Amino acid sequence: MSRTLPVQKNEYIDVVFEDLTHDGAGVAKVEGYPLFVPGALPGEKGQIKVIKVNKGYGIGRLIEIHEKSFYRVDVARSESHKYGGCQLQHMNYEGQLKYKQNQVEQVLKRIGKLENVKVHPILGMENPWHYRNKAQVPVGERNGELIAGFFKPRSHEIVDTNESLIHTPEINEAVNVVKETCRKFGIQAYNEENHTGVLRHIMARYGMKTGELMVVIITRTRELPHKNEIIEKILERLPQIKSIVHNVNFKRTNVIMGDQTTVLWGNEVIYDYIGDVKFAISALSFYQVNPVQTKVLYDKALEYAGLTGEEKVIDAYCGIGTISLFLAQKAKRVFGVEVVPEAIDDARRNAELNGITNAEFAVGEAEIVIPKWYKEGNTADILVVDPPRKGCDEALLNTIIEMKPKKVVYVSCNPATLARDLRILEDGGYRTVEVQPVDMFPSTSHVECCALIKLIE
């Protein structure tokens, strides 16, 4: 006989919030039944409306707060609190860091069964605002007027936004200039339901060290109406701009960028630095959106690698070579692997740009290429992994265990899969020495980590 749930859909109830989920929702329990409520904080009391019930958990909407958390802050000063990317903007920075620290410590114990691993205090930002160097803003229409902003949580409704507190002022200005210019010339917004209209997204990229700016106008149509007039107005209002790019995406898809990219004015790339390493950034390049904290994270990876100039290093999931090029400054030789061919092209270009000759890059899946290298007798003293959120592939972990590099430096964007993979490596003869959390994305629920793992000799 199935158990009757203690709450019903559309019911209004008073609850006490005990915890936060990994994606920043408040957790309340009714007779042991968990309810996840975005916007609520631990220690708060309030009224919720139950909007969804499943066998194991329910979803609620926060209606009223009766008792506020010490960590709650007012976010009404910006429209950006209404969109889905900033799950923790209603929590002060002290509270955010405490939550992220606790998240890392708890998953290491619960998932990784790692009770005695040293987790250092999280490295936060001195100024946790205006840190993102890239925006990709969807475009729509309201009352016949072009708008651009961000999607409301769990919807495709666009909130027209002129300022985001997590993007740099230069990014905010660039997006607004393109929006206002396209509005002035009557450019029609893309309609995803009918697959009609012109303008789909506005992208802006900014080099924090160089001050260089790129805008990318993404359309459904191969032609951008009033192209020359739009370019002229953008140049007039954004004198620091180095590149104006047109990308065409005529497919019915949620993917932002299409296959056809044309430089309308200026350069194909802008440049930026992470530490002393220079990077060329095109419209399609993957590049870390918070270079300030990226340097903090990579400095820690370099410290954990402990390079003397004699080591051979393999960098799995190397992307455009950011970690590889950091390591190459101290290592004898670095070999990077990445599945995206365009990223490897960027990695090779960035190595040449910096005069780095001891880094090689290969296209392919890490879990296929590295075992192949191992079978051919190519091993490494140190192996660095920076996998996607799903963590390392089992085949790669098994190869690491067989290859027996003295150290593994694991850079992670998901503490849960990090904990799972550390458990596998520990069972395979390694010891997790320490873990350093780094806050790369303030106001969101995401936390990065760098872990040092050593072979038990």
CATH number for the domain spanning 34: value is 2.40.50.140
411 and 345 within one domain:
yes
Domain membership of residue 263 (yes or no) is yes
Structure-block tokens of residue 4: 């009757």
User: Do 296 and 351 lie in a common domain?
Assistant: yes
The helix/strand/coil state of 328 is: helix
| Concatenated DSSP letters of 417-452 | HHHHHHHHHHHTTEEEEEEEEE-SSTTSS--EEEEE
CB 123 within 8 A of CB 439: yes
Tell me: pLDDT of 76 over 60.
Answer: no
- Do 404 and 330 share a domain, yes or no? yes
Quick one: pLDDT band at residue 446, thresholds 50, 70, 90? very high
pLDDT value of residue 73:
87
Same domain, 141 and 103: no
* Residue length of the chain: 457
Shared-domain flag, residues 151 and 111:
no
- What CATH number is attached to the domain comprising 239? 2.40.50.1070
Place of tokens 């002290």: 94
Task: Identify how many contiguous H helices and E strands the chain contains and give both numbers.
Answer: 9, 22
- Distance from the Cα of residue 240 to its chain's centroid: 26
- Give the confidence band of 63 by pLDDT, cuts at 50, 70, 90: very high
Q: How high is the mean pLDDT of the chain?
A: 92
Q: Using one digit for the tens of pLDDT, what is the confidence trace for 382-420?
A: 999 999 999 999 999 999 999 999 999 999 999 999 999
Evaluated on CA atoms 314, 388, 90, 66, the torsion sign reads negative
Q: Are residues 305 and 443 in the same domain?
A: yes
Which has the higher per-residue pLDDT, 145 or 122?
Answer: 122
Q: In angstroms, rounded to a whole number, what is the distance separating the alpha carbons of residues 319 and 311?
A: 21
- The structure tokens listed for 228 are 């020359």
Q: pLDDT band for 11, please (50, 70, 90 cuts).
A: very high
Supply the pLDDT for residue 305: 96
Q: What is the pLDDT of residue 79?
A: 47
- Is 93 domain-assigned? no
267 and 307 part of one domain:
no
Calpha distance 26→17 (Å, rounded): 6
Mark which of 274, 307, 322 sits at the end of a domain: 274
Strand partners, 13: 48
**DSSP state, residue 81:** G
Same domain, yes or no, for 363 and 230? Answer: no
> Does residue 80 lie in a domain region?
no
**How far is the C-alpha of 444 from the C-alpha of 433, rounded, in Å?**
28
Tokens representing residue 54 in the block: 């499943």
CA distance 206 to 168: 8
Judged by average pLDDT, the poorest of 91-105, 151-165, 332-346, 382-396 is 151-165
pLDDT band at 254 (very low <50, low <70, confident <90, very high): confident
pLDDT of residue 83: 52
Any domain includes 81: no
Of 14 and 86, the one with more pLDDT = 14
Q: How confident is the model at residue 85 (pLDDT cuts 50, 70, 90)?
A: low
Active site residues: 413
The predicted model gives 2-16 an average pLDDT of: 87
What is the layout of strands, in order, in the sheet containing 241-248?
158-160, 145-151, 134-142, 199-206, 213-219, 241-248, 260-266
Provide the angle, in degrees to the nearest 10, between the axes of the packed helices 227-237 and 169-184.
140
> What is the structure's pLDDT at 81?
45
CA-wise closest residue to 36 among 10, 15, 5: 15
Q: How buried is 426 (Cβ within 10 angstroms: 0-12 exposed, 13-18 middle, 19+ buried)?
A: middle
What's the pLDDT score for residue 88? 87
DSSP state for residue 412 in the 8-state scheme: E
| Confidence bin at 77 (pLDDT 50/70/90) | very low
The pair of structure tokens assigned to 312 is 């051979």
What is the rounded average pLDDT of the residues 26-52?
93
Instruction: Return the ∠ at Cα 229 (arms to 228 and 234), rounded to 5°.
Output: 100
Q: Are residues 326 and 388 in the same domain?
A: yes
Indicate whether this model's pTM tops 0.75. Answer: yes
Answer yes or no: do 310 and 441 share one domain: yes
Let me know if 237 is exposed, middle or buried by CB neighbors in 10 A (0-12, 13-18, 19+): middle
Q: Are 425 and 453 in contact (CB under 8 A)?
A: yes
- Say yes or no to pLDDT of 1 above 50: no
Q: Are residues 305 and 201 in the same domain?
A: no
What is the rounded distance in angstroms from the CA atom of residue 162 to the CA atom of residue 109?
A: 43
Dist. CA 457–CA 140, nearest whole Å: 60
Buried b / exposed e over 187-202, threshold 16 CB at 10 Å, is bbbbebeeeebbbbbb
CA distances from 192 to 137, 141, 159 (A): 15, 11, 16
144 and 261 fall within a common domain: yes
Residue 290 CA neighbour count, 13 Å, CB half: 24
Rounded to whole angstroms, the Cα distance separating 119 from 439 reads: 14
324: CB partners within 8 A, 6+ apart: 315, 318, 334, 336, 347, 351, 359, 361
Mapping DSSP to helix (H, G, I), strand (E, B) and coil, where does residue 45 land? Answer: strand
* Total number of domains in the chain: 3
User: What's the domain range around 119?
Assistant: 98-126+290-455
SS3 at position 7: coil
> Based on the number of CB atoms within 10 Å of its own CB, is 156 exposed (0-12), middle (13-18) or buried (19 or more)?
exposed
> What average pLDDT does the segment 422-429 reach?
96
Domain endpoint, select from 221, 243, 274: 274
pLDDT-above-70 percentage for the chain = 96
* Residue partners of 403: CB distance under 8 A and separation at least 6: 370, 374, 379, 380, 383
